Amino acid sequence: MKIETITLREIRMPLVHFFETSFGRVYSRRILLLTAGCEGVEGWGECVAGEDPFYSSEWIETAWSTIKEYLAPAILGRPLTAAHEVAGLMAKVRGHRMAKAAIENAAWDAEARQKQQPLWKLLGGTTREIQCGVSIGIQDSIEQLLDRIETELAAGYRRIKVKVKPGWDLNVLERIRSRWPDILLSCDANSAYRLDEVEHLRKFDRFELLMIEQPLWNDDIYYHARLQRELKTAICLDESIRHARDAAAALETGACRIVNVKVGRVGGFSEARKVHDVCQDNNVPVWCGGMLETGVGRAHNIALSTLQNFRLPGDVSASRRYWAEDIIEPEVVVSPQGTITVSDEPGTGYRIREDLIEKLAVRKETF
Ligand code: OSB
Ligand code: MG
Shared-domain flag, residues 73 and 159:
no
- The answer to whether position 154 is within a domain reads yes
| 155 and 84 co-located in one domain | no
Residue 305's nearest CA partner among 340, 329, 333, 349 is: 340
CA of 118 to the centre of ligand 2 (A): 28
81 and 204 assigned to the same domain: no
45 and 162 inside one domain: no
**What pLDDT is stored for residue 233 in this prediction?**
98
Q: Is residue 50 domain-shared with residue 187, that is, in the same domain?
A: no
Tell me the best of 291, 294, 300, 326 to mutate to test the pocket of ligand 1, counting ligand atoms within 8 Å of each CB and taking the most: 291
Range of the domain at 91: 5-116+351-366
- Tell me what pLDDT residue 191 has: 97
Phi, psi angles (nearest 5°) of residue 47 = -90, 125
Regarding whether 17 and 97 lie in a shared domain, the answer is yes
Which listed ligand is nearest to 133 at the C-alpha?
1
The pLDDT of residue 361 is 97
d(CA 264, CA 262): 5
Q: Is 89 in the pocket of ligand 1 (CB under 6 A)?
A: no
Residues 70 and 179 in one domain: no
Q: Cα(240)–Cα(275) distance, rounded to whole angstroms?
A: 12
pLDDT of residue 79: 95
The residue whose CA has the least distance to atom 7 of ligand 1 is 291
Q: What is the domain count for the chain?
A: 2
Which pLDDT score, from 0 to 100, does residue 290 have?
98
CA dihedral 59, 37, 261, 323 (to 10 degrees): 70
Same domain, 159 and 297: yes
Q: What one-character-per-residue DSSP string does 109-140 give?
A: HHHHHHTT-BHHHHTT---SEEEB-EEE---S
The closest of 334, 343, 336, 342 to 315, measured between CA atoms, is 334
Are 109 and 161 within one domain? no
CATH assignment at residue 273: 3.20.20.120
Which stretches of 208-322 are assigned E, i.e. beta strand? 211-213, 235-237, 258-261, 286-288
Is 325 in the same domain as 288? yes
Is residue 346 situated within a structural domain? no
Q: What is the CA 22 to chain-centroid distance, rounded?
A: 17
**CA geometry: angle 294, 295, 301, nearest 5 deg:** 100
Backbone angles phi, psi at 163, to 5 degrees: -80, 140
pLDDT at 3: 97
Give the integer Cα–Cα distance in Å for 193 and 50.
22
Does 184 lie in the same domain as 153?
yes
Q: Closest Cα partner for 240 from 261, 263, 214?
A: 214
For ligand 1, the distance from its centroid to the CA atom of residue 291, given in whole angstroms, is 5
Catalytic (active site) residue 262: yes
Q: What is the pLDDT of residue 67?
A: 98
261, 262, 264, 269 alpha-carbon torsion, rounded to 10°: 50
Q: Do residues 55 and 82 both lie within one domain?
A: yes
Q: What's the confidence (pLDDT) of residue 9?
A: 98
DSSP assignment string, 46-110: EE--BSSTTSSS-BHHHHHHHIIIIIHHHHTT-B-SSTTHHHHHTTTS-S-HHHHHHHHHHHHHH
Decide: 274 and 268 in contact? Cβ < 8 Å.
no
Q: Pick out the chain residues at pLDDT < 50.
A: none
Q: What is the CATH number of the domain that holds 50?
A: 3.30.390.10
Could you confirm whether 364 is annotated as catalytic?
Answer: no
Are the CB atoms for 304 and 310 separated by under 8 Å?
yes
CB 134 within 8 A of CB 161: yes
Sign of CA dihedral 247, 253, 259, 260: negative
| Ligand 1 contact, 59 CB (< 6 A) | no
Residue 330 confidence (pLDDT): 97
The best mutation among 19, 27, 261 to test binding of ligand 1, ranked by most ligand atoms within 8 Å of the C-beta, falls on: 19
